[in-house]
Structure 1
Amino acid sequence: MKITEKQRAYYHTGETRDISFRVRQLKSLKEALKKYENEMYDAFMVDLNKSESEVYLTELGMVYHEIDTAIRNIRKWSKKTRAKTPLFLFGTSSKIYYEPVGTVLIIVPFNYPVQLAFIPLVGAMMAGNTAIVKLSELTPHVSTVIQKIISKTFDESYVCAMQGEVEVVTQLLEESFDLIFFTGSSRVGKIVMKAASENLTPVILELGGKSPAIITEYANLGQTVESLVWGKFVNAGQTCVAPDYLIIHKSKVSEFERLFRETLLKFYGESPLQAKDYGKIINASHHQRLVRYLSDNDSNIIWGGMYNETKIEPTLIKIDNIDCEIMEDEIFGPILPMILYDSFDEIEKIVSKNPNPLALYLYTYNKEEKDKILNSISFGGGMVNGTIFHLANNNVPFGGIRNSGIGSYHGYDSFTTFSHRKSVMTMKNWSPLKHFYPPYTKKKNKIIRKLLK
């Protein structure tokens, strides 16, 4: 029997619908993660050169917080809710029931392999689904630990983790799921969506795009630069919500460049390529792509530009022409293009070249500027005077728009994403709805018009 068939059979036993069952499973997941924490740290060092502090901050800590939020709120969120009923439907009552969607597929990328495997999985489990989790082949050591955690904690008919190359994903996409949750590039997202359409399977796509950071003349560079440098270079820039490029007012450039250098020295020392807290590029293919950007823009490199076999220095590049190759696709690496602007109206023109980014980061203390940019530019989510931390707040939805994604999750939004909201209306013994039945007379027509005016 195929694993998808096993999971469907188990789902239809109804066991996953029990709230107490869901809570027990979530607690078991957290216990297992705690048990294998040290193995996880070792695996991350091999695959991505991530330090223990960075792994906990950007991966495990966020998963623990998500599990705790789910356990604390699941009973409240799962309750059926009463909905208002319009006057013309007098004699009826309406309620919304939350039910699992069924068997789901979660496809995990390499860059945050724990966070982006387990936070969607927590949502799927919280809502009462069964799940297959396809792990990234690019982080084999981390994926092996994740698979061990899942296989030792859950029966595969409930939750199953799978490794393998592209062929495994292709085979999975030929199956009929009740929901597919994909995190990755826009290019692969289109392939997933096309495959899902064959079975009319709904999809959640968490993609990326070129997320801008904007420093206006009203920014406080003292706090701006540390935030920007951390957000850009954490995980060696391999973050879907990392600032992809910088738009900066001409009056701020000189001070920014000075503080940029000082901050890099503070964070990573004289030799970032040797720094223990600085990550590596995931593989040779991605490394070569990024090195090509350095070669193409060699004369415009302001800071950085050095690299070894696995790492690339944090690099700042001045961009004179926004139509160059580095401004076409998401960089996904430790290279920050810098575009200067003079007139505020130029900002929207620059961003519109790569519309609907996953994130936008605005540095300003001018309310008029802030309101104008936030209300005129479409993006998934973001921060004012900060970077990245908005996704750590699971009280708000996280997700993209159009090119940067479809759907959202985290916290309550994860619960609703992996649930079907089923509306049910109950009619009492007597209801004016009988006036809507034929035969239609002048009297009934008068009543209908009055009720539906």
Structure 2
Amino acid sequence: MERQAVLRAREAFLSGRTRTLEFRLQQLQALLTMITEKEAEISTALKQDMNRSQYDTPLLELISIENEIKLAIEKLAEWAAPRPVEKNLLTISDEVYIQPEPLGVVLIIGAWNYPWALTLLPLVGAIAAGNAAVVKPSELSEYSSLLLRALLPRYLDKDLYPVVTGGASETQELLRQRFDHVFYTGSSSVGRLVMEAAARHLTPVTLELGGKSPCYIDRNCNIRTACRRITWGKFVNCGQTCIAPDYILCEPSVQGQVVDRIRRTLLEFYGADPKCSPDYGRIINQRHFSRILSLMEGYTPVVGGQSDASQCYIAPTVLKDVPPHSRLMQEEIFGPLLPIVTVSDMDDAIRFINEREKPLALYIFCSDKKAVRRMMEETTSGGVTVNDVMMHYTLSSLPFGGVGHSGIGRYHGRHSFDQLSHQRACLVRTLGMESVNLARYPPQDRRRARRARMALRSPLIDTSKRTLVWAVVATVIGLGLLITLVVILLIAAGLNCTCWYWRGFYN
């Protein structure tokens, strides 16, 4: 089944129908229609998968998909157009440009924590770039996976964009096939396996992974506001967010205040018993429930800590004075546990961050712009947000992705289009003006070699329309000034000669 889906997708791609912008726009519009028409069914599926609130579904997933599709529809002609580049003297009269073109058949392996956004956002980029795409949703979000399999063929070309469901064996079978790009969202451990499988076919990959995203709180910032924003980002979707703040770094003098503010904010958000709150979710399955509970072993929570295996429920939990080398600080938590690690100052926080793998996101809460700039310059992360959490993800203008251990490649908006396109280098010449090329041909001599070196070493010339217009204007003005100067000099010379003549005449 998996192999047949890939073969059908490749055959459909080779038919050439994805090449036209009209077809891509039609498919994008159909995907947008699916999201708007089936919002209620999607919300129900997410409620069944992880007790997601019906109000959170649009905010956390569907609006971002809609915005991405609308942007792609609006900008597709611009993104797909040839991109002129600078020339040198040897190519000044030629057409030189970059032409984005489809890669071919893309494999998209989605994630279970945001099963619609993290599956369909890459699909938007694949469609816009003119690719076929085999979609493999996560089997852990079972209801969403089955609904996606039922809906997508009703709205999109079923040969170009097949949905393959199933577990690890189906994913492994897909990875044995040859693709032109693999786009995977998930854990670093599985990301390594995906990259290894893709390497057998020399297939490029985009790996959207995760890691432990640090959150530094400066002692002089507005701690009340900082904790409010951190609490939202950490515990939304029950902590199952790849860019959620994984842990807090702060000085010992403010740790108690941070704990108190988070406790008060949790009471405001979810009430005295978050288990009864319609806005608080559940862990995806029993395996992850047990894994998260095991991370708490040996600690006494200062906030939360309650759990119920029958509902896969773990309360929002805060742990303080967590040792830097504990297991809790070695693994990505991906759940509603928030450890606090104390550091002596910002220098110590920077050292702590740099001693670990590069995170997917870095959060800095600080009112001193100079200190913020320093922390940004002396650390590295996939993305960074100052005085808030996760909001950089909401901007399609910003590339989203990791660095090093937290991922390879980036997407969102035009970045998705470029990531899933081949940037083809194009040089179109004529067979005329052959005398210009003589310097590069044998037999060589000193004069020819000198001319060739001069031409090749010449600075690149921007021949875009606006630059060309200004160059012409500048040339005309320059010539005009030069002619005027020559005329003035000639007149002055003429007057001078006349004066000498009449002086000689009278003498």
TM-score category, normalised to shorter length? over 0.9
Instruction: Name 2:285's counterpart in structure 1.
Output: 283
Q: Does 1:65 align with 2:67?
A: yes
Matched, 1:140 2:117: no
Per the normalisation by structure 1, the TM-score is 0.97
Distance in 1 (alpha carbons) for counterparts of 2:402 and 2:423: 22
CA distance in 1, matches of 2:108, 2:275: 34
SS in 2 for 1:2: helix
Equivalent-residue separation in structure 2 for 1:354 and 1:168 (angstroms): 34
Match of 1:305 in 2: 305
Unaligned runs of 5+ in 1: none
Say whether residues 1:430 and 2:401 are aligned partners.
no
Hey, what's the Cα distance between the residues in 1 that align with 2:77 and 2:19? 12
Find the counterpart in structure 1 of residue 272 from structure 2: 270
Report what 2:318 is aligned to: 316
Alignment match, 1:414 = 416
RMSD: 1.3
Deviations, residues 310-347 of structure 1 (Å, cap 9, x unaligned): 11111111134201110001000000110112222111
Matches within 5 A, 1:45-64: 45-64=47-66
Amino acid at match of 2:454: K
Aligned to 2:444: 440
Report the CA distance shift for 1:166/1:320 in structure 2 as closer, same or farther (over 3 A).
closer
1:124-139 paired onto structure 2 within 5 Å: 124-139=126-141
What displacement does 1:225 show?
Answer: 1.1
Once the two structures are overlaid, the 10-residue window that deviates more, 342-351 or 100-109, is 342-351
- Deviation string, structure 1 residues 135-191 (Cα, Å, up to 9, x no partner): 111011111111111121123311111110100000000000000000000000000
Q: Is it true that 1:340 corresponds to 2:345 in the alignment?
A: no
Q: Is the 8 A contact 1:62 1:392 kept in 2?
A: yes
Equivalence map 1:12-411=2 (5 Å)? 12-298=14-300, 301-309=301-309, 310-411=312-413
Q: Deviations over 1:409-442 (max 9, x none)?
A: 0000011011111111122322533311222112
SS in 2 for 1:295: coil
- Residue 12 of structure 2 is matched in structure 1 by 10
Q: Secondary structure at 1:161's aligned position in 2?
A: coil
> Counterparts of 2:287 and 2:411 in 1: how far apart (Å)?
31
Q: Judge which range, 317-326 or 125-134, deviates more.
A: 317-326
Segment drifting more, 247-256 vs 407-416: 247-256
Alignment equivalent of 1:449, drawn from 453, 465, 490: 453
- 1:196-240, CA deviations, whole angstroms, 9 ceiling, x for partnerless residues? 000000000000000000001221112111110000001111100
2:442 partner letter = P
The Cα shift of 1:446 comes to 1.7
Q: Percent identity?
A: 35
1:438 partner amino acid: P
2:494 counterpart residue number: none
Per the normalisation by structure 2, the TM-score is: 0.87
> What SS is found at the alignment partner of 1:15?
coil
The farther-off stretch of 116-125 and 87-96 is: 87-96
Structure with greater Cα Rg: 2
Whether contact under 8 Å (1:89, 1:433) holds in the other structure is no
SS in 2 for 1:57: helix
Query: What do the CA deviations read for 1:58-91 (whole angstroms, capped 9, x no partner)?
Result: 1111101111111111111111121111234434
Deviation readout 1:367-402 (Å, 9 max, x if unpaired): 121011101111000210000111010011000001
Residue type at the aligned position of 1:348: I
Unaligned runs of 5+ in 2: 458-507
The CA distance in 2 between the partners of 1:333 and 1:296, in whole Å, is 17
Distance 2:303 2:269 in 1: 15
Q: Which amino acid aligns with 1:305?
A: G
Alpha-carbon distance between aligned partners in 2 of 1:434 and 1:308, rounded to the nearest angstrom: 82
Q: Contact 1:33/1:149 (CA < 8 Å) preserved in 2?
A: no
Partner Cα separation in structure 2 for residue 20 and residue 434 of structure 1: 45
Deviations 1:243-266 (A, max 9, x none): 000001233223222211110000
For 2:327, the aligned partner's letter is: E
Relative to structure 1, the CA distance from residue 90 to residue 192 in structure 2 (aligned partners, 3 Å threshold; closer, same or farther) is same
- Residue identity matched to 2:304: G
TM-superposed CA distance for 1:5, in Å, is 1.5
**Counterpart secondary structure, 2:148:** helix
Give the aligned residue type for 2:112.
F
Question: Does the 8 A contact of 2:61 with 2:117 survive in 1?
Answer: yes
CA contact (8 A) 1:314 1:334 kept: yes
